Amino acid sequence: MKKWTSCTLSSILAFSLFISFTSYAQANSNKETAVSKEAGNSFPVLTKARKPEDAGFSSEKLEKVDRLIEMEVASGFPGAALIVIKDGKIVKNDSYGYKRKFNEHTPLKRFQKMKDDTMFDLASNTKMYATNFALQKLVSEGKLDIEAKVQQYIPDFKDAEGDVIKGKDTLRIIDVLHHTAGFKPDPQYHNPTVSKELYSQERDKTISFLSKTPLTYVPGTQNVYSDVDYMLLGAIIEKITGQPLDTYVENEVYKPLNLKHTKFNPLQKGFKPKDFAATELLGNTRDGVIAFPNIRTYTLQGEVHDEKAFYSMGGVSGHAGLFSNTKDLAVLLQVMLNGGGYGKHAFFDQETIDEFVAPSEINPTYGLGWRRNGDASMEWMFSPYASESAYGHTGWTGTVTIIDPEKQLGIVLLTNKKHSPLVNPAANSNQFYGDLFKTGGYGSVVTAIYEALESNEK
């Protein structure tokens, strides 16, 4: 009897252990399956809406956008490409006018028609879709601390004995991102008449000169938009990653997203001039009133227009140099709307995005690089209808991007408004005829898009 009881107890114990082990294994298996499923989850990817109404737009009202741009093209505006996305759907993807109308000042016998896949010189939108994307990724990965001093990443960045205004020793990455670092807007390293001892048309020398560029105000006391800020940030990315900026973003961001039309120095990477919207008619001469060593005098098409980027930085800089088209940029906008990922690829997280688009204390229309719909002064870019949380950027060549997370809306308007003569180069060497059109001012087109949203109907 005792023997039977002992055997029975042993059997029961063994069975209990088996059940416990099985339950534990099953629980862990379920956990692993759950983790596996979670890891395999995809971020939303863009699909084409069957009709605008599927994404909450009025087809009839969207036609107003077409009429506006087409009327301006008929009146002399060079051209544009537009894409609108909402709720993960491509609502509109159209092109207007011409990518090239002139050879220098001579009109072409046959204008080159704009296409939906035409690539544009993004100018300062480079700051967001190259530099900020890289920075946001590095912050998410714990490889960059925006509260750290610039000096931590670039040891030569420090105050010098003869500096009139000091502050480099304590300058933080976040100050540079907020455009409160103390730099003037454009030191023109490429032009010896302006830059003097900081003159450089060599990339490595220019990067070394960033640390020597004098401050013009005490950091943190003003908000002054400066290209130097993003040239410096581009150099910091290169220090952290050990790679050129273009190599890093192309391999880490654009290639995983299969963005084949987003490049620095695209003419060196298999593209032809006909793939691009042209910019200035006479190189960088502003119709002949500007001169400096090695200045281009021919019509630019596929070469970055920005002088510092082209002459001083070899076409690759944190502030300018990126080319793209509307469809590629729509994917990058969707990455932001998705909280940092697209398809099976995660680049950064929502917490990092929130940090980068939060308003600056000194100027609510700025985040960390991003321009924000911070107050009524930004209606020229965002329209009266954009959410307070909307953000984006513009580029001097004629580009604007809008990201409205509250409405899950993205707008990319790319124009070649600088592909036109100057109005009066002697009086204003930066005002082109293309700047005088509503399409070149962005806001009218953006407003018409928002007004086409059915949710905006009175």
Q: Tell me, which fold does domain 143-241 have in CATH?
A: Methane Monooxygenase Hydroxylase; Chain G, domain 1 (1.20.58)
Q: Is 393 helix (H, G, I), strand (E, B) or coil?
A: strand
Closest Cα partner for 82 from 70, 74, 275? 70
Does the pLDDT at position 23 exceed 70? no
pLDDT in the model for residue 167 = 98
Does the pLDDT at position 20 exceed 50? no
* Structure confidence at residue 157 as a pLDDT band (50, 70, 90): very high
List, for residues 86-144, the tens digit of each pLDDT value: 999 999 999 999 999 999 999 999 999 999 999 999 999 999 999 999 999 999 999 99
Closest Cα partner for 206 from 238, 229, 230, 231? 231
pLDDT in the model for residue 138 = 99
Kindly provide the b/e burial profile for residues 69-98, where b requires at least 16 CB atoms within 10 angstroms of the residue's own CB: bbebbeeebbbbbbbbbbebbbbbbbbbbb
Q: Is 84 helix (H, G, I), strand (E, B) or coil?
A: strand
Are residues 309 and 319 in contact, defined by beta-carbon separation less than 8 angstroms?
A: yes
Give me 87's structure tokens.
């709720």
Q: Report the alpha-carbon distance of residue 340 to residue 328 in Å, rounded.
A: 16
Q: Residue 204: phi, psi to the nearest 5?
A: -60, -40
* Structure confidence at residue 177 as a pLDDT band (50, 70, 90): very high
Q: Report the alpha-carbon distance of residue 121 to residue 8 in Å, rounded.
A: 82
Q: Is 391 helix (H, G, I), strand (E, B) or coil?
A: strand
Read out DSSP for 154-208?
-TT----TT-SS--GGG-BHHHHHTT-SS--S---TT-HHHHGGG---SHHHHHH
Does the pLDDT at position 24 exceed 60? no
Domain residues of the chain, as ranges? 50-139+260-456, 143-241
pTM (2 d.p.): 0.90
Distance between start and end Cα atoms, the chain: 89
Q: Report the alpha-carbon distance of residue 229 to residue 210 in Å, rounded.
A: 9
Does the pLDDT at position 17 exceed 60? no
Does the pLDDT at position 13 exceed 80? no
Q: What percent of the chain lies above the pLDDT cut of 70?
A: 90
Place of tokens 């640390």: 211
Residues paired with 346 in a beta bridge: 341
- Segment 24-46 shows an average pLDDT of 49
Task: Report, at the CATH architecture level, how domain 50-139+260-456 is classified.
Answer: 3-Layer(aba) Sandwich (3.40)
pLDDT in the model for residue 432 = 98
* Structure confidence at residue 456 as a pLDDT band (50, 70, 90): low
- Over the chain, what is the mean pLDDT? 93
pLDDT in the model for residue 5 = 39
pLDDT in the model for residue 454 = 80
- Segment 395-407 shows an average pLDDT of 99
**Does 27 or 185 have the greater pLDDT score?**
185
Are residues 317 and 245 in contact, defined by beta-carbon separation less than 8 angstroms?
A: yes
Does the pLDDT at position 29 exceed 90? no
Decide whether 50-139+260-456 matches 143-241 in CATH topology.
no
Give me 344's structure tokens.
């099976």
Write the DSSP symbol of residue 128: I
pLDDT in the model for residue 457 = 58
pLDDT in the model for residue 455 = 76
Q: What percent of the chain lies above the pLDDT cut of 90?
A: 90
